[in-house]
Amino acid sequence: MNNVFIDVDYAQIYKHGQKIGGDVFLLSRKPDSNQIVCTLSDGLGSGVKANVLASLTARMAHKLSFSDMDLTHSAKLIMNTLPVCKERKISYATFTIADLRHNSDEDVQVNLVEYDNPSALVFHGSEPEYWESEKIDLMREGAFKKEVLGRSHLNLTIGSRLLIFSDGVTQAGMGKALPLGWRLKGVRTYAQELIEQNPDISSHDLSYAIVQKAHTLDRLSAKDDITCMVVYVRKPRRTLVVTGPPFVPEHDQLLVEKIKQFEGKRIVSGGTTAQIVSRILGSPLKVDMKCWSPDVPPCSVMEGVDLVTEGMLTLSKVAVALEQKKSSLTLANDAVKKFIEVMQDSDQVHFIVGTKINEAHQDPNIPVEIGIRRTLIGRLRKALEEKYLKETSLEYM
């Protein structure tokens, strides 16, 4: 696994009264590659029409960014494909594309293309960075003003952040709390204050805080779609998940040694596995009745392990919650919620799966959806990699 992790997340609030957003954000990692592409498009107007226009633009940009074509040429193709509104004489959608490539142990190279969205912000630690982007003039029939495409090549090191947002953020509070809106300077100052207060603030928390502040400036009645995306380059947060006893009892000691030597959070899932770890560590298991629900058995507490849960049923429900990308805030205070919180706060997750067959799971009365341990771990890894862009690895014992 890499020694650098690219933490990407976004937050969004729809325009007041709308049930669908006119801002569209797409995020993908190229399989077997260190390339990540983030695309934010803002459709003209709001609601369904704006969503269709933004979705078309964002998906075109996304697909072309993963091709061998130069990103600037891709952006020109998008512009020439998109029509110009006959009434307003402006483009049907704006967009920002960030192509992130991790090519070394410490640096992330960013190829940034911007069209008519607010300028992106970059912070090294809590200090903002200023730069001049290359300006590319576009000539399109029907447009009433000169259109300019901005291109920048940036270098993000550990502790750096890239912020991209729609004009619903910079124009928040216009005519109300702020006559000219929040503006880029206001967003920069607020983000800098948040980073100074919490230097390790995650992309999720920072983007959420900025969106909520913009919503507050609009007096909780958003006049436009409000979207903010944050890229945070940092050292990875690692988690070890151990489930199932080893194939032979002679490997029990080796399993516990791997747990003891792991640098990061540790989760043990499964009653038999927990008993093995408890016996060898000499740490008694205690049931935590503060963390339970009618759906899954309660967590347990054991010194040397951050979370101890029941096995198959809990893993099955965790897999479903990750696949559906449920927020931990909506879950009951039980083992599934605790598991999800650790997964969402992790960057790299290593699974150790014991291969000893548990006779209890051969009962035909057990629900089919619980499946076998290997299948569940496969679902967890797929959800973590595809839905959350986490890095995962697997080891059998």
Q: What is the pLDDT of residue 64?
A: 85
Q: Of residues 229 and 90, which shows the higher confidence score?
A: 229
228 & 281 share domain:
no
Q: What is the pLDDT of residue 389?
A: 83
| pLDDT at residue 50 is higher than 90 | no
95 & 190 share domain:
yes
**What is the arithmetic mean of pLDDT over 51-77?**
83
Q: What is the pLDDT of residue 388?
A: 85
Q: Cα–Cα distance between 234 and 6 in angstroms, integer?
A: 7
**What is the arithmetic mean of pLDDT over 14-18?**
93
Centroid of chain to Cα 15: 23
128 & 248 share domain:
no
127 & 196 share domain:
yes
182 & 101 share domain:
yes
Output DSSP code: residue 178. B
Q: Cα–Cα distance between 87 and 128 in angstroms, integer?
A: 39
**Residue after which a domain boundary falls, among 234, 254, 280:** 234
Q: Of residues 42 and 365, which shows the higher confidence score?
A: 42
Residues 287-329 have pLDDT tens digits of 998 888 899 999 999 999 999 999 999 999 999 999 998 878 7
CA angle 125, 129, 133 (to 5 degrees): 145
| pLDDT at residue 204 is higher than 90 | no
71 & 152 share domain:
yes
Through-space distance between the first and last CA atoms of the chain, rounded to whole angstroms = 20
Q: What is the pLDDT of residue 287?
A: 93
68 & 168 share domain:
yes
When pLDDT is cut at 50, 70 and 90, the band that residue 126 belongs to is very high
Q: What is the pLDDT of residue 104?
A: 66
**What is the arithmetic mean of pLDDT over 270-286?**
94
Q: What percent of the chain has pLDDT over 70?
A: 90
208 & 251 share domain:
no
Q: What is the pLDDT of residue 1?
A: 67
Q: What is the pLDDT of residue 368?
A: 41
Range scoring the smallest mean pLDDT among 23-27, 260-264, 272-276, 365-369: 365-369
Nearest Cα to 343, choosing from 318, 310, 375, 320? 318
Q: In the block, which residue shows the tokens 């862009």? A: 389
35 & 138 share domain:
yes
Residues 138-185 have pLDDT tens digits of 766 555 566 788 999 999 999 999 999 999 999 999 986 788 999 999
Instruction: Locate 150 and state its tokens.
Output: 């901005």
**What is the arithmetic mean of pLDDT over 190-200?**
96
**Residue after which a domain boundary falls, among 234, 267, 301:** 234
Q: What is the pLDDT of residue 207?
A: 95
Nearest Cα to 390, choosing from 4, 7, 3? 7
**What is the arithmetic mean of pLDDT over 48-68?**
85
**Residue after which a domain boundary falls, among 234, 268, 288:** 234
Residues 365-388 have pLDDT tens digits of 544 434 478 889 999 999 999 888
355 & 328 share domain:
yes
Q: How far is CA 173 from CA 64, 168, 179, 180, in A?
A: 36, 10, 7, 8
Q: What is the pLDDT of residue 149?
A: 85
256 & 220 share domain:
no
11 & 158 share domain:
yes
* Domain enclosing residue 132, as ranges: 5-234
Q: Of residues 179 and 284, which shows the higher confidence score?
A: 284
**What is the arithmetic mean of pLDDT over 85-110?**
79
Report how many domains make up the chain. 2
Helix or strand run (H / E) with residue 44: none
CATH number at residue 175: 3.60.40.10
Q: What is the pLDDT of residue 114?
A: 93
When pLDDT is cut at 50, 70 and 90, the band that residue 223 belongs to is very high
pTM: 0.78
